[in-house]
Structure 1
Amino acid sequence: MLAAVSILALVPGPTLAQQALDRQSFDRLGGEDPEDEEIIVTANRTARAKSQVGESVTVIGEEEIVNRQPSEVLDILRTVPGVTFSRNGGLGTVSGVSIRGAQADQTVVLIDGIKLNDPASPGAGFDFGTLLVGNISRVEVVRGSQSVLYGSQAIGGVVNLLTREPSEEIETFARAEYGARDTAELVGNVSGRFGSVAASVGATYLRSDGISAFSEARGGTERDGFESLGVNGKLDIAITDALSLDLRAFYADGESEADGFAPPTFALADTDELSRRQDFVGYAGINAAFLDGRLRNRLGFAYTNIDRQSIDVSGGSEIETFDANGENRRFEYQGVFDATDFAGLVFGAEREESEFRTSSFGGPASLADVWINSIYGQVNLTPLAGLSLTAGLRHDDHETFGSATTFAASGAYTPNDGDTVVRASYGEGFKAPSLFQLFSDFGNPGLDAERSDGWDIGATHGFLGGRAEIGVTYFEREGTNEIVFVGCFQNPLPPCQVPNPPFGTYDNIARARADGWEFGLALRPVDGFDVAVNYSIIDAFDEATGNRLPRRAEETFSLVADYRMENGLGIGTTIFVAGDSFENAANTIRLDGYVVADIRVSYGITQGLEVFGRIENVTDERYETVFLYGQPGRGVFGGLRYRM
């Protein structure tokens, strides 16, 4: 992983997963020969060789994910340059991801290209807390404002999670592990082709006694457990050589124990509370190619439904204290046209319909819905050998705030066939106000969209015959019209002028800025030994107060190293360092920095069967990413995995 692109794959040549990714997720721009380079898909919504991508992208492939033995997606994302995270406890608790200092709800999250953001959450963001790695085999993170191609919320960037792809031959993957805190996990996936149908289906189960969400260092004693069951599936049905059907689905059902703010003190303490959540995403599309394959079209329908309940079990029975349901329906068309050998177009139209329902203690439900219509287009050019350029424009029409037009451009230049690549990009972003911010009891229907514009410039250089690569990127972003919660006392906003007004509402009054550096180094000293080092500096400030934005460490550092020997023995480590940050906007509560180190080992028993083990948080570091909420201490885990 580097500041601009993934660099762990120092040996050239696309994997089967990358080739399948191109077929399934988006489309391929003609006139490219990606055989010698890693392929990036999410940045341009069409597959391009990494030396042709001007945006800052990190790709974590299947081999790295398997070697690192993670259970949570957060374990993977925490080592991505420019990414910081916060979590209210251990497995299954509320978790947010910030890219380059942006708000957690200013990130578009996709699974298999389907939007995961929750319309019923206050900021319509996505909670990573219950999301397990399971059968996710590839992660692409695009940093910087990306609204031209991804619309609302793509201010910080885009996280795209890809589950295992259909394969030509029968392939199986299975993993079973057990470890600390009575944690057990099972993962399985089968893929293959049966005539004209290629399929991949899998399931994941995890249960754990967990830790006390209320920090044990501050008096928490009651463990808060977590249990989750998930399934994933993809079908690729070839009707003719130029026509196919694409079906995808992902479902997760999780239950987390939680701590809360019980009377009479209403201070965080051990409580008997449950959080239940069900996530379902589905996609059905048809792909058609015309003009000898130069014009490729995709027409699809995507659906996301996230259902959440909070339950009090302190009295021996279950009392529902909160219920929320967020639903997103997305109708989309995308076309890719190879106009010439050096010019291609990506264009499309979308309609997104979102609705939410919330209620507390069985009371009347709050209901609302909103639509947004969009058109976009981007041109991808390779006018000279080694030079790639993109420029795009998007127009969105929203039911309440009106319209937003965004622009983006990027370029990449390599004078030596990819050994050295200079990149630069400019992007504008917007985020429509959430349904909660517009229509809840605290809502303000007069809200406008949040806006951003940002740019970055960077370079990567490979040396030592492809065994080493270094990179650096500098970025800046300015955010305006940001939505914050404000009090109603002497506030002239219309929501505060009604009889019995709420104690607060939302308004577009905040401005934020962020700038920083991302440095990376990757080495392969000998075959089978991969080392990746990343270091990020993120200065994210509230422009009105000059204070740092909360829960964003100014500095982060990560080291990921894995060595696979010829005898089948593998050893590795991940070291993650986060600097100090602040819990609150006033910068009066400090969160101390921390160092977390993991070590791991694996051994191939047979060609497809491996035994593995790891120690997480070797030094038993005690730290908080959210004030008063603890994080897991030392834990030992081990198991078996099978790939064939």
Structure 2
Amino acid sequence: MNVFFPAAGCGRLLFSASFLALACSAPALAQSEAGPVSLDEIVVSATGTPTPAREIASSVTVITAKDIEQQQRRTLPQVLATVPGMNIVQIGGPGGQTSVFMRGTNSNHVKVLIDGIEANDPSTPNRSFDFGSMLTDDIERVEVLRGPQSGLYGANAMGGVISITTKRGEGPPKATARVEAGSNGTFNQSAGFGGGDDRFNYAFNVAHFRSDSTDVTPPNIVPPGRRINPNAFDNYSYSGRIGVALNDTLTLNWVGRYQDGQLRYTGDTGFPSRPAPYRSLQNYAQAFTRGEVVWDPFGGRFVNTFGVSYTNQDRATRTANGTTGILGLPTENLGERTKIDWRGNLEIVKGHNLLMGLQYERERLDTASLVASNGNKAAYLEYQGNIQDRYFLAANIRHDNDDSYGGHTTYRIAPAVIVPGTETKLKASYGTAFKAPTLSELFIDYRPGFNFYGNPNLSPEESRGWDIGFEQPLLEKRVLFGATWFQNDIDNLIVQNTARTSYANIGKAQTKGVEAFAALEVSPQFRIRADYTFTLAKDEVAHQELLRRPRHKASATAIWTPTDKLTVSATLLYVGSWVDGNRDFSVARMNAKGAALVNLAAEYKATDKVTVFGRIDNLFDKRWENPVGFLVPGFGAFGGIKVAIGG
């Protein structure tokens, strides 16, 4: 592992020393609310119902609003960067297109849910979710569930599921506001208002993120004399949720989210290409909403949820002269999804539950060259059992019936046992999953201008995956460590046919590796966690490693709370080398260098209502390309103030 200390960074080191001096000058250690490493944290995504982490066999990482606030992560890619089993690839800093590769699977093999609403984008050719534009101000928790999950979640959950939950109003009315400024022309603001009790809750949030001078183009690939333009990102996000208990058995819930913005970035010209002398503009607007009726006629024994959700995602890309796309191809895309669902959670007897559900979903794609839609119906059933608080099992099965490819059945089984005496948790899982062909892959047609067209006879991509591992608590749960071995075998991958005129199910891949972690509470005021992931992802047809899957990834985070007013955090992220193409893929395969990045953050509660904060990103100004041809943002210093009223 290499940590970089450039000689030119002396000023930054002095700044950092001053930053840390704030922590060292704090009063004597005070008692903190931090407790021992907990195995009883609640997890929802693994089984679809709130379950203590101790009882879960699946590999899940939970990131809370407190974690996000302590480390001052302002965008979703920053939140996910240190999660084990995942590689984050962002093209050009804040707002840039961001892909997540989970356990070596493709970026479109991850299902993303926001408050239970599927967020994967039908307007994109591969139906992947672009994480780059999502802000974190209203996020309550993020759960990252790894491994094949189609038995509960259906299509696109081959690598796993990322479930995002926004904040729910609680307690007396409370208003918050935050302002932050810093490097790269960054200026961020957010405001929130919420409250609630057993009968009525509400929460609303508005956030604005702007950075107008992020350098992302490597100077060595720019023609001599050509100007290098920075990226500029401007985003507005609005969200709200309301819950009303009409009586003891009937509750109404609503959640909504809208965000729009623009990204100015340097495109390419020619082939082999060079960065253009002007910036392109991408505008986007995204809307997500869901309404629910929760009927609980038997005091929690059989809870029924009836829901309707709708998403609308609109993107348009234009170059400086007003044209759209590359070579004149249209890039103004609108994707819509409507879903109607019922979910029933039945307690058979204490410790034994059935989760069942029905879904109907319809997707629609509208572009300049294609208007298409597709429907899907599904039913699923899951059993969850707890025997003597030592033996745990979750098993599910699901059948999807699609207008395009017909029926598909998937399942998953995940047992765990807590060994008496040592309290070691032994866990394993096996599951199947699939990814449905996208509307573009099925129906796109660029003829006669280009001899490329969709294939309506495509079948789903399919996978089988398993993992096995352990978790061991020690010293009254103040130490927790564990490891998990995983493997996925993927068939029928959708790739271009040999004639490069359409798509075909001719790809195969295998991904395997190890995820390991250790968490230590040194004292009530000081906690450390380290994660390591080894991943080997291979194309089984070409017998080559898959692109953008580093073999080695490691991270370490330390949180220090010397007083009840001051919190300091430090994070180290190491990503090893991997195989990538160059910026325009005129060189299809090349070795991409890894790097180590260090981030620092601190916040101080000046009063019960006022908090001042600051952070440093990329402390040693590592100019690292991820992906090749695009620099991660360099050294950045940021600071601001947060105010709370009421509550």
Equivalents in 1 of 2:115, 2:176: separation in Å? 18
Paired letter, 1:550: L
Which residue does 1:624 correspond to in 2? 625
Equivalents in 1 of 2:292, 2:316: separation in Å? 31
Equivalents in 1 of 2:406, 2:322: separation in Å? 48
Which residue does 1:41 correspond to in 2? 44
Contact 1:13-1:37 within 8 A present in 2 as well: no
CA gap of 1:417–1:391, structure 2 versus 1, over 3 A, is farther
Equivalents in 2 of 1:419, 1:190: separation in Å? 43
Q: Equivalent of 2:241, from 226, 234, 238?
A: 234
Task: State the shift of 1:416 in Å.
Answer: 4.6
Paired letter, 2:131: F
Which residue does 1:148 correspond to in 2? 151
Which residue does 1:381 correspond to in 2? 385
Which residue does 1:129 correspond to in 2? 132
Task: State the shift of 1:560 in Å.
Answer: 1.0
Identity across the alignment (%): 30
Q: Which moved more, 1:173-182 or 1:394-403?
A: 173-182
Q: Equivalent of 1:410, from 414, 434, 439?
A: 414
Which residue does 2:485 correspond to in 1? 474
Q: Which moved more, 1:334-343 or 1:561-570?
A: 561-570
Task: State the shift of 1:294 in Å.
Answer: 0.6
Q: Equivalent of 2:355, from 346, 352, 355?
A: 346
Matched residues, number? 596
CA gap of 1:205–1:275, structure 2 versus 1, over 3 A, is same
Contact 1:210-1:224 within 8 A present in 2 as well: yes
Task: State the shift of 1:172 in Å.
Answer: 3.3
Q: Equivalent of 2:56, from 44, 53, 56?
A: 53
Which residue does 1:256 correspond to in 2? 263
Which residue does 1:606 correspond to in 2? 607
The answer to whether 1:73 aligns with 2:71 is no
Contact 1:89-1:215 within 8 A present in 2 as well: no
Task: State the shift of 1:213 in Å.
Answer: 3.9
**Superposition pairs of residues 210-359 of structure 1, within 5 angstroms:** 210-219=213-222, 221-263=228-270, 266-314=273-321, 322-359=331-368
Paired letter, 1:434: T
Task: State the shift of 1:78 in Å.
Answer: 1.2
Classify the secondary structure of the residue corresponding to 2:155.
coil
**Superposition pairs of residues 72-91 of structure 1, within 5 angstroms:** 72-91=75-94
Q: Equivalent of 1:446, from 434, 442, 457?
A: 457
Equivalents in 2 of 1:425, 1:347: separation in Å? 20
CA gap of 1:125–1:159, structure 2 versus 1, over 3 A, is same
Which residue does 2:494 correspond to in 1? 483
Contact 1:91-1:210 within 8 A present in 2 as well: no
Which residue does 2:185 correspond to in 1? 182
Contact 2:149-2:160 within 8 A present in 1 as well: yes
CA gap of 1:372–1:614, structure 2 versus 1, over 3 A, is same
Equivalents in 1 of 2:411, 2:96: separation in Å? 36
Equivalents in 2 of 1:576, 1:158: separation in Å? 22
Classify the secondary structure of the residue corresponding to 1:525.
strand
Equivalents in 2 of 1:602, 1:234: separation in Å? 28
Task: State the shift of 1:265 in Å.
Answer: 6.1
Contact 1:111-1:160 within 8 A present in 2 as well: yes
CA gap of 1:106–1:418, structure 2 versus 1, over 3 A, is farther
CA gap of 1:207–1:385, structure 2 versus 1, over 3 A, is closer
Which residue does 2:468 correspond to in 1? 457
Contact 1:459-1:473 within 8 A present in 2 as well: yes
Contact 1:155-1:452 within 8 A present in 2 as well: yes
Equivalents in 2 of 1:316, 1:331: separation in Å? 38
Contact 2:480-2:519 within 8 A present in 1 as well: yes
Contact 2:304-2:344 within 8 A present in 1 as well: yes
Equivalents in 2 of 1:315, 1:402: separation in Å? 42
Task: State the shift of 1:419 in Å.
Answer: 4.3
Which residue does 2:640 correspond to in 1? 639
Paired letter, 1:339: I
Contact 1:570-1:602 within 8 A present in 2 as well: yes
CA gap of 1:451–1:270, structure 2 versus 1, over 3 A, is farther
Which residue does 1:106 correspond to in 2? 109
Equivalents in 1 of 2:607, 2:613: separation in Å? 13
Structure 1, residues 432-458: CA drift from partner, whole Å, max 9, x if none? 000010011121101000001101111
Q: What is the TM-score of this pair, normalised by structure 2?
A: 0.88
Task: State the shift of 1:113 in Å.
Answer: 1.4
Task: State the shift of 1:290 in Å.
Answer: 2.1
Task: State the shift of 1:315 in Å.
Answer: 6.7
Contact 2:71-2:600 within 8 A present in 1 as well: no
Task: State the shift of 1:627 in Å.
Answer: 1.9
Which residue does 2:525 correspond to in 1? 528
Which residue does 1:496 correspond to in 2? none
Equivalents in 2 of 1:210, 1:148: separation in Å? 45
CA gap of 1:137–1:119, structure 2 versus 1, over 3 A, is same
Equivalents in 2 of 1:541, 1:270: separation in Å? 38
CA gap of 1:552–1:285, structure 2 versus 1, over 3 A, is same
Which residue does 2:400 correspond to in 1? 396
Which residue does 1:513 correspond to in 2? 510
Contact 2:318-2:324 within 8 A present in 1 as well: no
Classify the secondary structure of the residue corresponding to 1:129.
helix
Contact 2:430-2:466 within 8 A present in 1 as well: yes
Q: Which moved more, 1:378-387 or 1:39-48?
A: 378-387
Structure 1, residues 349-397: CA drift from partner, whole Å, max 9, x if none? 10110010112xxxxx310000111000001111333111111110001
Contact 2:180-2:188 within 8 A present in 1 as well: yes
Structure 1, residues 582-613: CA drift from partner, whole Å, max 9, x if none? 11499731111011111122211012321111
Classify the secondary structure of the residue corresponding to 1:51.
helix
Task: State the shift of 1:136 in Å.
Answer: 1.0
Task: State the shift of 1:417 in Å.
Answer: 9.2
Consecutive unaligned residues of structure 1, counting only runs of 5 or more, are: 1-8, 15-35, 360-364, 489-502
Equivalents in 2 of 1:590, 1:400: separation in Å? 39
Q: Which moved more, 1:532-541 or 1:576-585?
A: 576-585
Equivalents in 2 of 1:117, 1:600: separation in Å? 32
CA gap of 1:415–1:265, structure 2 versus 1, over 3 A, is closer
Q: What is the TM-score of this pair, normalised by structure 1?
A: 0.89
The answer to whether 1:166 aligns with 2:190 is no
